[in-house]
Amino acid sequence: AQSVTQLDSQVPVFEEAPVELRCNYSSSVSVYLFWYVQYPNQGLQLLLKYLSGSTLVKGINGFEAEFNKSQTSFHLRKPSVHISDTAEYFCAVSDKGGGADGLTFGKGTHLIIQP
């Protein structure tokens, strides 16, 4: 069985400061990892995904994440945040590449950008 833990339910950050949103997972098989963003009253949008290859994954909007197998982590980072990054961020895992399977989500982290 898979599970995802997002350690922080809420992260306040000042504008233009760096941010890291933490995600840890557990899975007994090969794992595929995703980060989604949900803006208010909108559907989830894929930020980035790790399927294989380089452990450093770059996504949209300046976000990147690093897959660390030994620490079972997939933390999301951005070097300088903007007010428009205020949203809910979800980490998800699948044991089938490409998302051809139902995803297991973490509880989400609310990123709050303070001016």
Partner 1 sequence: GAVVSQHPSWVICKSGTSVKIECRSLDFQATTMFWYRQFPKQSLMLMATSNEGSKATYEQGVEKDKFLINHASLTLSTLTVTSAHPEDSSFYICSAFRTSGSSEQYFGPGTRLTVT
Integer Cα distance of 36 and 45 in angstroms: 5
C-beta closer to partner 1: residue 62 or 99: 99
What is the chain's length?
A: 115
Residue 46 is a binding residue for partner 1 (CB under 8 A): yes
Residue 54 is a binding residue for partner 1 (CB under 8 A): no
Residue 58 is a binding residue for partner 1 (CB under 8 A): no
Task: Please report how close the Cβ of residue 9 comes to partner 1 at its closest, in angstroms.
Answer: 8
Q: Which residue has the tokens 């899975």?
A: 27
Look up residue 83 and give its two tokens. 């007010």
Number of C-beta neighbours around residue 81 at 10 A: 23
By the criterion CB under 8 A, which residues form the site for partner 1?
4, 9, 36, 41-46, 49, 90, 98-108
